């Protein structure tokens, strides 16, 4: 995060898929960095049952009290549950199939307001007028006469986007209906198809299986990640997946992937 100038201060919610070490061991360092940077506003942690005990135990034995409050939101990974539902986004768990109970996360943007056509703005318009117009509501005077019609001053909203993050899982058709038509799918591809027996043993997926899932759920774009350290050339992963699903990219640190609805 420091290397790519991602400010810790913007983080308000953290989602942990399961309690294998590579998915949460860095969390204490992040929490203490936030503390040392004088963070005072609340942080929400979503994770399977057990993370709260792990964190509180470390705080207790280090005799540490953070400057900010942590709100723990434990969940059962084997069930599909809504974790967050506000005016901007809805987040729910995706039950996965792994050695430990594990959940992915489905992010869906809410319906967006209309865009204001700034070329049509008129003198005398108030902020409350603009707020109504963006909601699709015509502005009327005291007599009920329409003075500003929403359709005349607005443009269609940007499409709402969706993103499914499927961390550690073997082939899992049970999630297809939940992520049908997803705009962007992140799916683990720990192994190549030549090591499919290893994937089955460890309850992970191959790059080809990730691509097959993208096809099955009708995803628009696929990101491969969670690569085994045994592979020196990740382009083999990309080649294998693109043979099944062309619009595939690799999850590479520092690169940006745009979600297009």
Structure token digits, residue 193: 């198809």
Nearest to 189 by CA among 210, 203, 174: 210
Q: What is d(CA 195, CA 242) in angstroms, rounded to the nearest whole number? A: 18
* Cα distances (angstroms) measured from residue 25 to each of 31, 58, 90, 174, 199: 11, 12, 26, 29, 23
Q: Are strands 89-95 and 82-85 parallel, antiparallel or unpaired?
A: antiparallel
Q: Is 177 a catalytic residue?
A: no
Neighbours of 97 (CB within 10 A): 18
Bridge partners (DSSP) of residue 44 are 13, 71
Q: Are 102 and 77 in contact (CB under 8 A)?
A: yes
Contacts of 177 by beta carbon, 8 Å cutoff, 6+ apart: none
Q: Are 76 and 50 in contact (CB under 8 A)?
A: no
Q: Are 203 and 97 in contact (CB under 8 A)?
A: yes
Q: Are 161 and 180 in contact (CB under 8 A)?
A: no
Catalytic residue among 5, 22, 197, 233: 22
Positions annotated as catalytic residues are 22
């Amino acid at each position: 995060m420091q290397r790519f100038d991602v400010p810790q201060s913007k983080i308000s919610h953290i989602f942990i898929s399961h309690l294998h070490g590579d998915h949460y061991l860095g969390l204490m360092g992040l929490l203490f960095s936030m503390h040392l940077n004088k963070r005072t506003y609340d942080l929400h942690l979503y994770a399977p049952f057990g993370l709260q005990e792990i964190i509180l135990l470390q705080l207790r034995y280090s005799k540490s009290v953070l400057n900010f409050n942590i709100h723990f939101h434990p969940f059962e990974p084997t069930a599909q549950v809504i974790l967050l539902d506000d005016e901007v986004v809805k987040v729910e768990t995706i039950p996965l199939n792994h050695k430990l109970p594990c959940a992915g996360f489905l992010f869906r943007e809410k319906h967006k307001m209309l865009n204001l056509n700034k070329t049509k703005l008129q003198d005398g318009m108030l902020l409350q007028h603009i707020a109504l117009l963006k909601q699709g509501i015509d502005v009327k005077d005291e007599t009920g006469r329409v003075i500003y019609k929403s359709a005349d001053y607005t443009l269609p909203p940007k499409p709402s986007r969706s993103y499914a993050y499927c961390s550690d899982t073997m082939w899992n058709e049970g999630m297809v209906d939940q992520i049908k038509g997803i705009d962007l799918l992140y799916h683990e591809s720990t192994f190549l198809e030549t090591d499919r027996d290893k994937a089955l043993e460890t309850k992970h997926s191959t790059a080809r299986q990730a691509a097959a899932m993208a096809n099955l759920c009708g995803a628009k774009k696929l990101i491969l990640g969670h690569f085994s350290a045994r592979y020196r050339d990740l382009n083999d992963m990309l080649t294998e997946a693109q043979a099944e699903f062309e619009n595939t990219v690799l999850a590479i640190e520092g690169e940006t992937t745009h979600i297009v609805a």
